Amino acid sequence: MLILAIDPGSTSTKIGVLKEGEMIHAGMDHDRNLIDTFAEIHEQEEMRFACIMEELEKLGLGNSRFDAVVGRGGLIRPVSGGVYKVCDTLLSDLKTGISGSHASNLGGILARRFAASSNCDAFIVDPVVVDELDEVARLSGLAGIERNSIFHALNQKAVARRVAEDMGGTYHEAHLIVAHMGGGITVGAHKKGRVVDVNNGLNGDGPYAPERSGSLPVDGIVKALEEGRYTTDSLSRTVSREGGIFSYLGIVDVREVERRMEEGDSEATLAWKGMVYQIVKEIGSLAAALAGEVDAIVLTGGMAHSTRITEAIKEKVSFISRVVTVPGEFELEALTEGALRVLKGEEEAKRY
């Protein structure tokens, strides 16, 4: 099997090629000034296509015919987890940004583009809008406003599968709490293959993160709007890109935060402790939601590389269950694994 995986980020594009059972990783950065010239996300298709083609040429794969091409799923309509074939409706929703504009929308668009030249199927796997919430978890406390499921579904589910298998079971048998800790933080309750509760890590819900605000007091938001400190547009941008650690310290790199802590910076220490405190609270609340039936708590994402963070969390939550650390992100592997399951007949691709 020869499978191409495409993972677009805001100013980068990562690709992976599964060839003879081995993953080949590659990637490219894009100049922010160039990205800013595009009014809409989907308009970047030609530029990113050319960059990926150039990278494939360097790898000696420029003329390859792939068995499948798989892209990171974007902000489409809410769906259950799984592998989806990129159909015309899915492609249209990615281009129009039916549920919002994000670089990940380009994953399915580019997958379809490359699949056409190989005469193979294009897929997406576990997009960020995977919605498997229990009915009771949707209630916000105000009629007409529901809690939404937007989270690191691809990495959370991939890591949850691995941990469940390492424990001698399967994902569809396990009860896990998975905390993905990156630029945004999402903590999900995985119950027998479904994420029955999770915070919306993009739009102001859950723990604050290096660049996202997490949940905010409503009265504080109302007052800030009344005083003209924000417009609705600028507030949305701040919550998703300039909140959390950045709003307190002006930096998003946790390694720099920890360096300042070692130099005795009390503001850095407090901001760091506040983030860890909120992660721990989120894990604890989901443990209660699972009635204490937790086979493992899994810490993953870029920040899981910080032993200082993982040990601080373990100290607070290890009474609930064993804590497993799986640092980093495995999105390209998760994409190719999803496509491979379909090609092998182990899983049926879902219709969008």
Which CATH architecture group holds 2-129+331-343?
2-Layer Sandwich (3.30)
Give span(s): CATH 3.30.420.40, the chain: 2-129+331-343, 135-321
203, pLDDT greater than 90: no
pLDDT confidence band for 311 (50 / 70 / 90): very high
Of 7-16, 256-265, 283-292, the poorest mean pLDDT is in 7-16
Q: Which CATH class is domain 135-321?
A: alpha beta
pTM of the model: 0.92
Among 183, 156, 152, residue whose Cα is nearest residue 298: 156
Q: What is the b/e burial string over 13-29, where b = at least 16 CB atoms within 10 angstroms of the residue's CB?
A: bbbbbbbeeeebebeee
Whether 300 and 180 have beta carbons less than 8 Å apart is answered as: yes
10, pLDDT greater than 90: no
pLDDT confidence band for 55 (50 / 70 / 90): very high
User: What is the pLDDT at residue 11?
Assistant: 85
User: What is the pLDDT at residue 111?
Assistant: 98
Quote the mean pLDDT of the chain.
96
